[in-house]
Amino acid sequence: MKNRSKIILLGAAVAAFLCGCAKEKTESEADSIKREFEAWMSLNYPGATASGRGVYIINDVPGTGDAISPGTDKFAIVRFVWKDLDKNIETSTEETLAKQLGKYKEVNYYGPVAWAFYPQAIYAGFYDAISGMRTGGTREFISPSWLNTYSDYPSEEQYLKKYKSDECHDASIVKVTLLDKTSDIVRYQIDSIERYIVRNMGSKRDSAFLGYYYIRTQAPADEESLKDSTVYINYTGRLLNGKVFDTTIEDSARLHNIYDASKTYEPQKVYIGESVDKVSMGSNASASSSSSGAGTTNITASGLVRGFAYTLFNMKHYEKGTCIFVSSYGYSSSGSGRSIPAYSPLRFDIELVDKP
């Protein structure tokens, strides 16, 4: 009887020890982050109900246009204000707001931007939040950190199970206005370019090939090819809203408030090789440095955007012209810094000049 009592007591002690270990088990990072987020929600938005895979819509002003449709519409044209949970603005498309906050910079782009709208191309929380919005509407939502990732899982549980902090961004509060939508971003840009040309250049122009337009504004001295030669150019690059993002001309830089005292404004040396991929500019302008293989779809081996390189390759002595092309020949889905947003058509005014 005594032995049996000892066994029962020993069993109880082991069970208590194991129970204590279970209670002391370290909480996973995902569970900890979720618990902190839920505490923040209950304090700031008590009673809010999650939708989709866990995003919270806290304000909704319905639009009157067509609804954006997952699976059909591939891109959303939006304006937005993006804040952290302390309500500090992280990024915004609003120029007036940037000026009010003292964060406005002339070189930055402000205005509508295109968001890819399909799984793994947009944060999962953002995808859920804007699905079904009608154009003209504004929606404010809160997306938790585990939904601020491009990964695509069907449920919140799977997100949390596979959560990795290095793949997820902090939770965010986003106010987004849906301006337009499209299933074909290239066609959308082409329509924008053609309207721009009619409005700014007086008449419709035919494209040299899909999405690329060239308007000669000064005849060349001759029609001799410039292949395997070095020339000098002045140029100014801008977006279709008129925003100048780069120029070789000091007066133009000052006029458009992008002057940089550390930069030398003068004609740039350009080497014209045997193909578009062998056109190089500046310190790369030599036959040897531009002889590598072709670059990616939109960037040449020498680092020039393809639409710009194609124009230089086809220009002649002392010619002047304007090229306008879709983002497929520019900076594509990545954009360039804060000056050129993703999916932006570009315009370059180029002139071949004498060596400085």
Q: What is the DSSP string of 77-134?
A: EEEEEEE-TT--EEEES-HHHHHHTT---TTS--S-EEEE-SBTTB-HHHHHHHTTPB
* 76 located within any domain: yes
Q: Are both 191 and 337 inside the same structural domain?
A: yes
Q: Which one has a higher pLDDT value, 157 or 327?
A: 327
Residues 261, 279: Cα–Cα separation, whole Å: 28
Q: What is the predicted pLDDT for the residue at 299?
A: 86
Yes or no: say if 312 and 198 are a contact pair by the CB < 8 Å rule. no
Q: Are both 229 and 305 inside the same structural domain?
A: yes
Q: What is the predicted pLDDT for the residue at 138?
A: 98
Answer whether residue 347 shows pLDDT above 50. Answer: yes
From 337, 332, 323, select the one nearest 240 (Cα to Cα).
Answer: 323
Q: Indicate the residue among 161, 183, 205 that finishes a domain.
A: 183
The kind and range of the H/E element at 254 are: helix 250-255
Q: What is the predicted pLDDT for the residue at 11?
A: 46
Collapsing DSSP to helix, strand or coil, 110 comes out as coil
Q: Are both 137 and 206 inside the same structural domain?
A: no
Residues 294, 301: Cα–Cα separation, whole Å: 5
Q: Are both 140 and 208 inside the same structural domain?
A: no
Q: Indicate the residue among 183, 205, 236 that finishes a domain.
A: 183
Backbone angles phi and psi of 9, in degrees to 5: -65, -40
* 4 located within any domain: no
| CB-neighbour burial class of residue 50 (10 A; exposed 0-12, middle 13-18, buried 19+) | middle
8-state DSSP, 166: T
pLDDT tens figures, 268-308: 999 999 999 999 998 767 665 444 433 346 888 788 999 99
Yes or no: say if 324 and 204 are a contact pair by the CB < 8 Å rule. no
* Domain around 270: 186-353
Q: Are both 303 and 279 inside the same structural domain?
A: yes
Q: What is the predicted pLDDT for the residue at 183?
A: 97
* 13 located within any domain: no
* 108 located within any domain: yes
* 3 located within any domain: no
Q: Are both 338 and 194 inside the same structural domain?
A: yes
CATH number for the domain spanning 100: value is 3.10.50.40
Q: What is the predicted pLDDT for the residue at 288?
A: 54
* 266 located within any domain: yes
Residues 101, 90: Cα–Cα separation, whole Å: 12
pTM of the model: 0.86
Answer whether residue 25 shows pLDDT above 70. Answer: no
Question: CA end-to-end span of the chain, whole Å?
Answer: 108
pLDDT mean over 53-65: 97
> Distance between alpha carbon 354 and the CA centroid of its chain, in Å?
37
Backbone angles phi and psi of 242, in degrees to 5: 95, -5
Residues 2, 5: Cα–Cα separation, whole Å: 5
Collapsing DSSP to helix, strand or coil, 20 comes out as helix
Backbone angles phi and psi of 342, in degrees to 5: -60, 150
Q: Are both 114 and 196 inside the same structural domain?
A: no
Q: Are both 207 and 332 inside the same structural domain?
A: yes
* 15 located within any domain: no
Residues 129, 57: Cα–Cα separation, whole Å: 7
Q: Are both 206 and 222 inside the same structural domain?
A: yes
User: What does the mean pLDDT of the chain come to?
Assistant: 90
Q: Indicate the residue among 155, 183, 211 that finishes a domain.
A: 183
Q: What is the predicted pLDDT for the residue at 48?
A: 94
Q: What is the predicted pLDDT for the residue at 24?
A: 52
Answer whether residue 233 shows pLDDT above 80. Answer: yes
Q: Are both 252 and 341 inside the same structural domain?
A: yes
pLDDT tens figures, 159-216: 999 999 889 999 999 999 999 999 999 999 999 999 999 999 988 888 999 999 999 9
Q: Which one has a higher pLDDT value, 55 or 284?
A: 55
* 131 located within any domain: yes
- Say how many domains are in the chain: 2
CA angle 296, 291, 336 (to 5 degrees): 35
Q: What tokens does 87 get?
A: 């309500």
Q: Are both 161 and 177 inside the same structural domain?
A: yes
Answer whether residue 14 shows pLDDT above 90. Answer: no
Residues 349, 355: Cα–Cα separation, whole Å: 18
| CB-neighbour burial class of residue 268 (10 A; exposed 0-12, middle 13-18, buried 19+) | middle
pLDDT tens figures, 32-50: 999 999 999 999 999 999 9
Answer whether residue 142 shows pLDDT above 70. Answer: yes
Q: Are both 64 and 78 inside the same structural domain?
A: yes
